[in-house]
Amino acid sequence: MTKREAMELTRQENAMMMLGISRADAEALRRISMTLRRWFERECGIDNGCIERDEDTNKTYWLNSMSGRRYPIPDRETGARKRLDAIMRAYPGLTAYVQGDPRGSSLYILTADQLQSEHGIDSIYTRGVSVA
């Protein structure tokens, strides 16, 4: 980890601790965010394929772009979202927003005050703490 990355991680942890989130939960939220971001990147597709979800069974598959074959893979998104919900239940004044575009943070934490807006959460989620 570079000095810059360490400073950014410290800034992020401090911001979450100012919201009342424990250090252990802040680290767990960071791991969840990294898991979701990697999942969303693979859903969009990488060089050798992408993740697909079967609409009927809700099972996840890796679609190999070279062969066109589908292989079953573990569903990391559902587990990450369950862990996120379990953590956020301990903080009733906070709301988690999962942003599915992999070109930025996948997880934002917002306070009730930040949600008091005439705009929907889809337009104001960046006002919260980015968990990267």
What mean pLDDT do residues 54-60 have? 92
**Structure tokens given for 59:** 């099972």
On the 0-12 / 13-18 / 19+ scale of CB atoms within 10 A, 116 is exposed
Compute the Cα dihedral for 18, 93, 25, 53 and give only its sign. Answer: negative
Stated pTM of the model: 0.87
- Where are the strands (E) in 3-106, listed by range? 49-53, 60-64, 70-72, 94-98
> Model confidence over 18-30: pLDDT tens digits?
999 999 999 999 9
Cα-only R_g, the chain: 17
> Model confidence over 42-54: pLDDT tens digits?
999 888 999 999 9
- Angle formed at CA 1 by CA 11 and CA 99, multiple of 5 degrees: 55
Contacts of 23 (CB under 8 A, 6+ apart): 13, 17
Residues in a beta bridge with 64: 49
Confidence band, pLDDT 50/70/90 cuts, at residue 71: very high
Q: Give the containing element (helix H, strand E) for 80.
A: helix 76-88
